Structure 1
Amino acid sequence: MTEMTSVTNGTMGRVAYARIAPNEDLVIGVEKLCLAHGFRNAFVRGALGSLVDACLGANDDKFIEVKGPAVEIVSLAGEVRSDEDGAIKAALSGVVADPQGEIYGGLFVAGSNAICMTLEVTLEEWLPAGD
Structure 2
Amino acid sequence: MTEGVETGRMGRVAYARIAPNEDLVVGVEKLCLERGFRHAFVRGALGSLVDAVLARADGGHQQIAGPAVEIVSLAGEVRTDATGAIAARLTGVVADPEGRVHGGPFVAGANPVCMTFEVTLEEWLPD
| TM-score, normalised by the number of residues in structure 1 | 0.95
Q: Indicate the percent of aligned positions where both proteins have the same amino acid.
A: 70
TM-align CA RMSD:
0.8
Name the amino acid aligned to 1:6: G
1:33 to 17, 31, 34: 31
Partner of 1:80: 78
Name the amino acid aligned to 2:36: G
Which ranges of structure 2 fall in alignment gaps of 5 or more residues? Answer: none
2:45 to 47, 52, 58: 47
| Runs of 4+ deviating beyond 2 Å | 3-6
Which ranges of structure 1 fall in alignment gaps of 5 or more residues? Answer: none
Q: Equivalences for 1:1-131 in 2 at 5 Å? A: 4-129=2-127
- Count residues with an aligned counterpart: 127
Which digits, 9 at most, give the CA deviation of each residue in 1:6-57, with x for residues without a partner? Answer: 3110000000000000000000000000000000000011200000000000
Cα distance, 1:5 vs structure 2: 2.6
Name the amino acid aligned to 1:14: R
SS of 2:57's partner is: coil
SS of 1:119's partner is: strand
Residues in 1 aligned to 2:106 and 2:3: alpha-carbon distance in whole angstroms? 22
